[in-house]
Amino acid sequence: MKPELIAPCGMNCAICSAYLAMSRGHEKKKGMSHCTGCRARNKNCSFIKKRCTGGLRQNKIRFCYECSDFPCENLRKIDARYRKNYDYSFIVALEFIRDNGMEPHLVHEEMRYKCPSCGDVLCVHNGKCYKCQSIKTWRG
């Protein structure tokens, strides 16, 4: 887990399926995207920034929690979808970073998304370890 992989919206690119597929050398298949992370692509956020009316779009802030409109409607929408589908909250992640700092957040993420079989990273989207192929179910 690296600070540069935490997107402005709070997403941890290190646990994203597109980043894991690319970083673990998986061949790109139809319907599968590869990504190096929002910050590495010089994009502040592939989902939030293009709809942002605040400081993120103007490159005045680094994280959405620094905005006076935090959490905005766009962030609330993607947060609700990720809470429902993946048990992940952008808003909770950002509040944790704001209140506790980046290092404690990275430690928490590493513990939560550590593969119990091989110790690599589990994907937030499908629970899959792209190294050993084991799968963890998040719910139930």
Report the percentage of the chain scoring pLDDT > 70.
Answer: 82
Global pTM reads 0.85
Cβ atoms 102, 36 nearer than 8 A: no
83 pLDDT more than 90: yes
Mean per-residue pLDDT, 37-61? 67
In the prediction, which pLDDT does 80 show?
A: 96
CA distances from 3 to 33, 61, 68, 83 (A): 22, 16, 23, 22
96-105 CB contacts, 8 Å cutoff, 24+ apart: 97/6, 97/10, 97/63, 97/65, 98/63, 98/65, 102/3, 102/6, 105/6
